Amino acid sequence: MSTALVARLDSAGDVLITGPAIRAVAQRHDRVVMLAGPRGRAAAELLPGVDEIIEWQAPWVDFDSPELTAAHADDLIKRLRDTAPDRAYIFTSFHQSPLPLALLCRMSDIGWVGAISVDYPGSLLDLRHQVPDGVPEPLRALSLAQAAGCRLPDGDTGALRVTGVGSIAAQTRQRIGSDDFVVFHPGAAVPARRPGAERARAMVAALTAAGHRVVVTGGPDERDLTAEVAAGRAVDLGGLTTFTELAAVLAAARVVVAPNTGTAHLAAAVGTPIVSLFAPVVPASQWAPYGVPVTVLGDQQAPCRATRARTCPLDRHTCLDDITDSALLEAVHDTAHRGGSR
């Protein structure tokens, strides 16, 4: 019985876009154990092909991570030795190095380790895969699995997928109502990737004035933001849904309007069309939602382009805050039409 370790140590969205690659790995191995960070755990629990999850916070990935001590490293090494995978597939973003984790995998006696690496890995990697710039992140991850001899099952198109979503809880359904609705998700963990609260509130006002029923979503730490953006015009679900229930809400929406954040990738994973409010601090060609109808809004040539900035370097957040109401309404209409009946 062969066991594979698949690793993706950052956020929920990053875990979701690794889903097609993980399904390919699962085709080759009898058991798949996923190594995920605390921000990606909930997404990992929904991925098809994952049999077990190890949660561990990587100090070279998370900004609020613990110090890398011998005890913290030893904890992971012990857990990996107990798991005893035959192979480790380390998935990363284009700007991340897999080598710190590859070193810990070697110290855990894992016999084969593969990853995408620009840096020379020495003996840390058995498969050093390289990918051209600009490849969409789901395809980039899938290419590593394919280079290692893993293939998607017949009939699997390589779209993002989740499982076990279920239905919207009765209390949440009562708040939303039974008519069609648009989800507006204003938040993102990186401030540079979300519109200002004032502009987001105006966008929701424009959508409601045009006759759309709007549901505003957000996490527990975004309650103030969602209340400000909903402003009594929209249903405010800020902090009221688990990750699984958020997936059910997104699945029921006609269209999801969201910045470049995990919620957009979750919407793609449940098959809902997306209007992506995309700040160009990272390239939309790589990071826009994948596999569903998507309309990208935002100035992709703004001065913040490709800076990977966490906070907007400009006096005004022009790339997103200058999106007009008319452009938003046209995008919602056209994207819903491309999505067809749902």
Task: Write down the pLDDT at residue 341.
Answer: 53
Confidence of residue 67 (pLDDT cuts 50, 70, 90): confident
pLDDT of residue 239: 96
CATH number of 3-147: 3.40.50.2000
For the chain, give the percent of residues with pLDDT over 90: 86
Question: Lowest-pLDDT range, 61-65, 156-160, 253-257?
Answer: 61-65
CB contact at 8 A, 189 and 204? no
- State the pLDDT at residue 50: 98
> Average pLDDT of 230-248?
96
314 CB contacts (<8 Å, ≥6 apart)?
302, 303, 304
Spatial contact of 294 and 288, defined as CB atoms under 8 Å apart? yes
Cα separation, 164 vs 255, whole angstroms: 21
Alpha-carbon dihedral angle through residues 165, 166, 172, 176, given to the nearest 10 degrees:
90
Please give the average per-residue pLDDT across 81-93, as a whole number.
97
CATH topology classification for 170-339: Rossmann fold (3.40.50)
pLDDT of amino acid 114 = 98
pLDDT digits (tens, 9 = 90+) for 288-316: 999 999 999 999 999 989 888 888 888 88
SS3 annotation, 3-59: EEEEEECCCHHHHHHCHHHHHHHHHHCCEEEEEECCCCHHHHCCCCCCCEEEECCCC
Q: How far apart are CA 68 and CA 92, in angstroms?
A: 19
Which of 26-35, 65-74, 127-136 tops mean pLDDT? 26-35
Q: How does 159-192 read in b/e, with b if 16+ C-beta sit within 10 Å?
A: ebbbeebeebbeebeeebeeeebbbbbbbbbbeb
Residue 13 backbone phi and psi in degrees, to 5: -60, -40
- Residue 154: pLDDT over 90: yes
C-alpha span between 160 and 271 (Å, rounded): 8
| Average per-residue pLDDT for the chain | 95
Long-range pairs, 303-312, Cβ under 8 A, ≥24: 304/192, 304/279, 304/280, 305/280, 305/281, 306/280, 306/281, 306/282, 307/281, 308/95, 308/281, 308/282, 309/192, 309/281, 310/190, 310/191, 310/192, 311/191, 311/192, 312/191, 312/192, 312/279
Contacts of 122 (CB under 8 A, 6+ apart): none
| pTM, entire model | 0.95
| C-alpha–C-alpha distance, residues 214 and 304, integer Å | 30
Average pLDDT for 214-243: 96
3-state secondary structure 212-265: CCEEECCCHHHHHHHHHHHCCCCEECCCCCCHHHHHHHHHHCCEEEEECCHHHH
Q: Does residue 342 register a pLDDT over 70?
A: no
CA distance 295 to 277: 9
- Rounded to an integer, what distance in angstroms lies between the CA atom of residue 123 and that of residue 131? 20
How do residues 316-335 score in pLDDT, each as one tens digit? 889 999 999 999 999 999 99
Coil vs helix vs strand at 182: strand
- Using a pLDDT cut of 70, give the percent of the chain over it: 99
Same fold, 3-147 and 170-339: yes
Which structure tokens are listed for 92? 């990363």
Q: 97-133 pLDDT, tens per residue? A: 999 999 999 999 999 999 999 999 999 999 999 999 8
Res 8 pLDDT > 80:
yes
pLDDT average, residue stretch 17-25: 98
Reported as a single tens digit per residue, the pLDDT across 157-182 is 999 999 988 888 899 999 999 899 99
CA distance 179 to 212: 10
Give residue 333's Cα distance to chain centre: 24
Q: Mapping DSSP to helix (H, G, I), strand (E, B) and coil, where does residue 326 land?
A: helix
Q: Where are the domains of the chain?
A: 3-147, 170-339
What gap in Å lies between CA 76 and CA 93, rounded to an integer? 21
CA 213 to CA 139: how far, in whole Å?
A: 35
- In terms of pLDDT, which residue wins out, 66 or 225? 225
